[in-house]
């Protein structure tokens, strides 16, 4: 039997990996999704190669939720036209995520998306990553050969990605990946209302019928609507083996217990003993910060808090 070259072996394992359904981590920004992503990465799950400091998958952000104008037209991905547009974006994302060579059609699609970021609604997102960096990223993929990743693919047994904005794409992702696993990270919405990371609210408040002006009350209502919508969608469309809720407070207080349950859900538990995953979550002083400003949230609807056990 012929022996495969190193690059060919990596490609073979790589293609097996990408044909598996992903593990997708969602939640409002600042809710602890980075912790879940880091645990997943250290337990054998490839979560992408183009990550920001919060470990968000920037290739998915670029091709999907950061395209605010496009997303406003396609959300919630129910019509034939909406789904067809999203399929093209998904094809490009998979090639970017898995470092595969781009076809001429892919390059055109990439440049079309890049041009969208010059629209008013999207331009502030483009400024977070300069035009020069975007073009250089495109050229890197254009020059790349379809071979090994800059990682040891054989060390990964699953793949997935994390991005708070992916919540708005769940309908399409569930349609596209039979067997997909969704990890929904929640943190007490009263704490979230006073957090420094309000990006998801500022970019997507209008999707849930809310004004873009930040206030603790508006932020709390956004948290409530988005997390309740996510719960309703996932419990309706997925079984218990595909949808898992992680409370940030629980994983900080009982890291071993909660991480073991998470990894069992994700089929990653066999890798956990090889890494210091139990030391990743840390109890942080901002847990319970809302109590110092409780008056700002008087008389809010607590139904979503009760749904996730916070009230």
Query: So what's the pLDDT on residue 81?
Result: 85
Query: So what's the pLDDT on residue 7?
Result: 40
- The rounded radius of gyration (Å) of the Cα atoms in the chain is 20
Query: So what's the pLDDT on residue 76?
Result: 86
Gap between the Cα atoms of 299 and 151, Å rounded: 51
* CATH code of the domain occupying 6-307: 3.40.50
The backbone torsions φ and ψ at residue 161, rounded to the nearest 5 degrees and listed phi first, read: -160, 160
First vs last C-alpha separation in the chain: 63
Residue 75 is classified by DSSP as T
Query: So what's the pLDDT on residue 154?
Result: 43
CA pseudo-torsion sign 297, 299, 300, 305: positive
Query: So what's the pLDDT on residue 6?
Result: 40
List of the chain residues with pLDDT < 50: 1-10, 12, 123, 141-154
- What length is written for the chain? 311
Q: pLDDT (tens digit, 9 = 90+) per residue, 56-114? A: 999 999 999 988 889 988 888 888 888 888 999 999 999 999 888 899 999 999 999 98
Tokens 């022996």 label which residue?
Answer: 3
The backbone torsions φ and ψ at residue 183, rounded to the nearest 5 degrees and listed phi first, read: -105, 110
- pTM recorded for the entire structure: 0.87
- Beta carbons within 8 Å of 277's beta carbon, 6+ residues apart: 39, 42, 43, 259, 263
Q: pLDDT (tens digit, 9 = 90+) per residue, 26-51? A: 999 999 999 999 999 988 899 998 99
**Domains in the chain: boundaries:** 6-307
Query: So what's the pLDDT on residue 80?
Result: 85
Query: So what's the pLDDT on residue 291?
Result: 93
């Amino acid at each position: 039997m012929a022996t495969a070259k190193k690059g060919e072996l990596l490609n073979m394992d790589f293609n097996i990996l990408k044909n598996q359904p992903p593990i997708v981590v969602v939640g409002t920004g600042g809710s602890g999704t980075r912790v879940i992503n880091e645990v997943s990465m250290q337990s054998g799950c490839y979560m992408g190669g183009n990550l920001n400091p919060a470990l968000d998958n920037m290739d998915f952000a670029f091709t999907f939720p950061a395209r605010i104008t496009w997303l406003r037209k396609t959300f919630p991905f129910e019509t034939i036209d909406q789904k067809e547009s999203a399929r093209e974006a998904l094809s490009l994302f998979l090639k970017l995520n898995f470092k595969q060579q781009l076809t001429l059609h892919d390059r055109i699609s990439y440049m079309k998306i890049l041009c969208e970021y010059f629209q008013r609604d999207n331009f502030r997102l483009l400024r977070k990553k300069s035009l020069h960096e975007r073009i250089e990223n495109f050229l890197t993929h254009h020059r790349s050969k379809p071979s090994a990743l800059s990682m040891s693919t054989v060390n990964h047994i699953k793949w997935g990605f994390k991005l708070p904005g992916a919540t708005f794409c769940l309908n399409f992702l569930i349609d596209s990946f039979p067997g997909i696993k969704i990890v929904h990270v929640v943190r007490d919405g009263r704490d979230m209302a006073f957090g420094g990371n309000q990006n998801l609210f500022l970019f997507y408040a209008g999707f849930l019928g809310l004004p873009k002006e930040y206030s603790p009350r508006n932020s709390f209502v956004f948290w409530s609507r988005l997390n309740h919508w996510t719960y309703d969608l996932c419990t309706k469309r997925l079984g218990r083996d595909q949808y898992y809720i992680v409370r940030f407070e629980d994983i900080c207080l009982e890291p071993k217990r909660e991480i073991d349950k998470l990894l069992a859900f994700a089929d990653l538990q066999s890798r956990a003993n090889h890494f210091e995953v139990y030391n990743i979550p840390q109890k942080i002083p901002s847990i319970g910060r809302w109590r110092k400003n409780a008056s700002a949230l008087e008389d809010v609807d607590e139904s979503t808090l009760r749904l996730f056990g916070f009230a």
